[in-house]
Amino acid sequence: MRDETRPQYCYQVLDFTMPLPKQLEDLHMTCNINHAREALVLAVHVLMTETGFEIEGWQENGSDGTVEDHTAKENLCWVKGDSLLKLRYTHPTCPAANFSVAFLFVEPNVIIHGLVVVDDCSDGYSLNLRISDFIQKVFLSDPEPNKVYKNLTTMSRVVKDSVALPLLGWAQSVSNVPATFGFMTLSNEIQLLILGYLNVRDLLAASRVSVDLFSLASHPVLWRKLFFKNYPSVEISPTENISDWREKYKREHLLRKEQRECALRLLPRMPDPIGVMPMRINHRPFVPPPMPLLIDDEFELDGLLPLSHVNQPEQQYHY
């Protein structure tokens, strides 16, 4: 029964009462986790495999310059906290690309840096994760590994959006491989539905991203919707056959702009009063009003400075 309700991906784990994806649970049970940083590395590795990456091996670069290489079949561990752990990956869509994800422990965080190399070109993406945000250290020795991990939904989104998918997207772009994820992989109907929520300024900005987006952002369905949304008072004859709604929108926009400029030119200018120079406004700092005058034996008449006792007038007493 538990296997039927087990989440398949990390983002589906909402709290510790739900079981972990089988791959993460099996890795946690077999890798002999002794530190929270190792549990974090396992979770990131599983998220990389969810994106389609396949591990080739891993290595530990010690602070003394030593390098320990390990095959993909060996259990993943990070024994020395001062060492640099590096995982090497491949992806079936980009066989010519070499991927690596490095982990550096800077307590209480782990800095993650992903690198992709295609021929002589390379690109990298970094991410900084606080261990306590995703790993509950007190449960490391608990027999139920689902208590160790928390906020897996957030972690899945952050790691994939910041490291995994940017690495894959860059490699596919450089290798001229059709994209396997993202907006451009959606159907044409869904793409137009999403772009239909943009205003004119954002739609024009999207059209400058790529040739494919330019063609998509010029679709007459989008500009017809924008035309009737922004110019509802314009009457369109049923017999008028409009094929280029983008050009129709452009002409109406320029017409409205010209009308506004013409109206501003026709407005009469208010003449200055005869013999009166235009008032020049100088911005001066605010000066507080003077304090009210006080008549008192202890203060001057301006009410600001007290009299010295030497110059004080003798008090007269009337009996």
* Cα–Cα distance, 319 to 305 (Å, whole number): 31
* pLDDT exceeds 50 at position 13: yes
Which of 50, 40, 48, 41 shows the shortest CA–CA distance to 151? 40
Q: How many CA atoms lie within 13 A of 185 on its CB side?
A: 8
More confidently predicted of 271 and 118: 118
pLDDT category, 301, cuts 50, 70, 90? very low
pLDDT 10s digits, 128-172: 999 999 999 888 888 888 899 999 999 999 999 999 999 999 999
End-to-end CA distance of the chain: 106
Mean pLDDT of the chain: 83
Show Cβ contacts of residue 113 under 8 Å, excluding neighbours closer than 6 positions: 101, 102, 104, 124, 125, 126, 127
More confidently predicted of 278 and 78: 78
Domains of the chain: 22-175 (3.40.1000.30), 182-233 (1.20.1280)
Q: How many CA atoms lie within 13 A of 239 on its CB side?
A: 0
With tokens 């784990």, the residue in question is 13
Q: How many CA atoms lie within 13 A of 85 on its CB side?
A: 21
Q: Which two tokens stand for residue 227?
A: 């035309």
* pLDDT exceeds 70 at position 284: no
User: In which element (H, E) is residue 167 found?
Assistant: helix 165-174
pLDDT 10s digits, 41-82: 999 999 999 999 999 999 999 888 888 899 998 988 888 888
Proportion of the chain above pLDDT 70, given as a percent = 82
Peptide bond into 108 cis (omega under 30): yes
- Cα 303-304-305 angle, rounded to 5 deg: 110
pLDDT 10s digits, 197-253: 999 999 999 999 888 899 999 999 999 898 888 888 887 777 777 778 888 888 888
